Amino acid sequence: MEVPVKKGFVLFITALAFVLNIYAVAASAQEKSFIVVTGSELNSGVVILHIQKADKAYHLQCNQGAAGCAALNNGRYQMLELPENYGMYDCKNVEVYAEAQAFPDKGMPDRDKKLGEYCLVEK
């Protein structure tokens, strides 16, 4: 004798699978890389970090006083490029982590240890 499955339960499981699939696609679209902060400045309320990534110069920018905006000391860090339409800025958003604690064995960062969130701008 078969027990009928409720429609609501089936819809819930389908929706859950859809959300998990979207999360997996977004997580796989993130690119991790090492960066070196070579300097920082404050210009009209915008924090600007000068960085090197794979022998190319970039700026990281954020709005002073915004959550996740910090002027970092010179040194090596890991940067996570977020998928399109993720993050607080209308540009290519990145998160920066300390080099040693950034990406555990699973390949994803511990979001509680994020040092900042920035807009990545090519020089």
Sequence spans of domains, the chain = 31-122
Tell me which residue of 23, 19, 26, 71 sits closest to 45, measured CA to CA: 71
pLDDT tens per residue across span 9-33: 554 555 555 444 445 444 444 678 9
Give the number of other CB atoms < 10 A from CB of residue 48. Answer: 18
Q: What pTM did the predictor assign?
A: 0.69
* Percentage, residues of the chain above pLDDT 90: 52
φ, ψ (nearest 5 deg) of residue 111? -60, -25
Give the number of other CB atoms < 10 A from CB of residue 4. Answer: 5
Per the CB < 8 A criterion, the answer to whether 38 and 74 are in contact is yes
Rounded CA separation 76/47 (Å):
18
- The alpha-carbon radius of gyration of the chain (Å, integer) is 19
Q: What is the pLDDT of residue 30?
A: 65
Q: What is the pLDDT of residue 19?
A: 44
